[in-house]
Amino acid sequence: MQLKYEYFLFDLDGTLIDTTRIVEKVWEKWCQNVDINYHHIKECCHGVRGKDIIRQFFPEADVYKELKWLEDKEIELSPLANEIFGAKHFLLSLPPMNWGIVTSSTNKVAISKLKACNLPIPRLLISSEDCKRGKPHPEPYLNALKILNIHPSNCLVFEDSDAGIESAYNAGCKVIKVNGNNIHKSRSLISIQDYSFINNNMG
Task: Compute the distance between CA of residue 11 and CA of residue 60 in angstroms, rounded to an integer.
Answer: 30
Q: How many degrees, rounded to 5, is the angle at CA 134 between CA 154 and CA 100? A: 40
| 72 catalytic residue (yes or no) | no
- Which residue of the set 11, 18, 160, 162 is catalytic? 11
Sheet containing strand 124-126, edge to edge, reads 124-126, 99-102, 7-10, 155-159, 174-178, 188-192
- Judged by phi (left if over 0) then psi (alpha if -120 to 50, else beta), residue 14 lies in left
| 13 catalytic residue (yes or no) | yes
CA-wise closest residue to 8 among 90, 84, 131: 90
Looking at the annotation, which residues are catalytic?
11, 13
